[in-house]
Amino acid sequence: MTNALNRIRVGSAPDSWGVWFPDDPQQVPWERFLDEVSEAGYSWIELGPYGYLPTDPARLTDEVDRRGLKVSAGTVFTALHRGPDVWDATWEHVSQVAELTRAMGARHLVVIPSFWRDDKTAALIEPPELTVRQWAYLTKGMERLGHEVKERFGLDIVVHPHADTHIDTEEHVERFLDSTDGELVGLCLDTGHYAYCGGDNVKLIQTYGERIGYLHLKQVDPEILADVVKNEIPFGPAVQRGVMCEPPAGVPALEPVLAAAQNLGVELFAIVEQDMYPCPPDKPLPIATRTRTFLRSCGA
């Protein structure tokens, strides 16, 4: 299968080093992340939470260049389902991240919907289901965001379905895609989150292939996931239990997912993101190295 996946560009992200926040004493320093992601054999990275890596473009360019790295995307969280009142604050944050993303030569902005749980305590802060009006706010807001980001920064937004957000299950993802303009809003398919929420990754790629603009690669431990679903365990505590596992030990099988993505006939980034917050500082590098070896064996 070697060289079969010639349209797939593999990278990794701070998330695979246990980084969820711009600054947290439980996380590895950014210098160590950059050193180790390069050592593990990756050449592409994402920015991660804004402020974790240096935000001065000249300094960050120097840091990534001397490690042989390039940036594929930035990431933002949004709560556009809350309506027009949140637009100004959302745009202020998005502009910061988009400006740095563009300066680093990347072309994508990964947009994650806000959690309906508190990201530190996992306490419920909103209903898991949106009203009809909130769905309209979400879809129209994302289209506006896609338009503005393209016009002002030349970037494509790719919306990331995520556990414990309003875009999670197959039903919600399809509703979102059917309700948004593909010229303005692409999809970042996270294989682990979609499987976590019961979705079929290959089916989604085959059905909505023209909307797939970006991939995140991760796997779910099916035994831990079954317990998580049975006991309604929030995503954060589920991660601490190891629900996101090292490939190829979990689901979905990545070989057919990558093959389906290759068959789309377009170049795609496939960024490894194994959620491990928090984790011991020496844990990520060996996993990242083995994962890179595994992906090479798949032809990526």
For residue 3, is it within any domain? no
**Cis peptide bond prior to 278, omega within 30° of 0:** yes
CATH of the domain at 227: 3.20.20.150
Question: At which residue do the structure tokens 């898991």 appear?
Answer: 128
- What would the pLDDT profile of 199-252 be if each residue is shown by its tens digit? 999 999 999 999 999 999 999 999 999 999 999 999 999 999 999 999 999 999
Count other Cβ atoms within 10 Å, centred on residue 3.
7
- What would the pLDDT profile of 9-20 be if each residue is shown by its tens digit? 999 999 999 999
Question: Among candidates 117, 191, 189, which has minimal Cα distance to 159?
Answer: 189
CA–CA dist 209, 218 (Å, integer): 19
The strand pairing partners of 220, in sequence order, are: 244, 251
pLDDT (mean) for 69-83: 98
pLDDT for 4: 82
For residue 182, is it within any domain? yes
Going by pLDDT thresholds of 50, 70 and 90, the confidence category of residue 113 is very high
For residue 77, is it within any domain? yes
For residue 46, is it within any domain? yes
Q: How many domains does the chain have?
A: 1
Q: What's the sign of the alpha-carbon dihedral 80, 86, 88, 90?
A: negative
- Residue 70, H or E segment: strand 70-78
CA–CA dist 112, 118 (Å, integer): 15
Boundaries of domain holding 137: 8-298
pLDDT for 121: 83
Both structure tokens of 157: 């937004």
- Cβ-Cβ contacts under 8 Å for 99 (sequence gap 6 or more): 153
For residue 1, is it within any domain? no
* Phi-psi sector, 177: left (phi>0), alpha (psi -120 to 50), beta: alpha
For residue 186, is it within any domain? yes
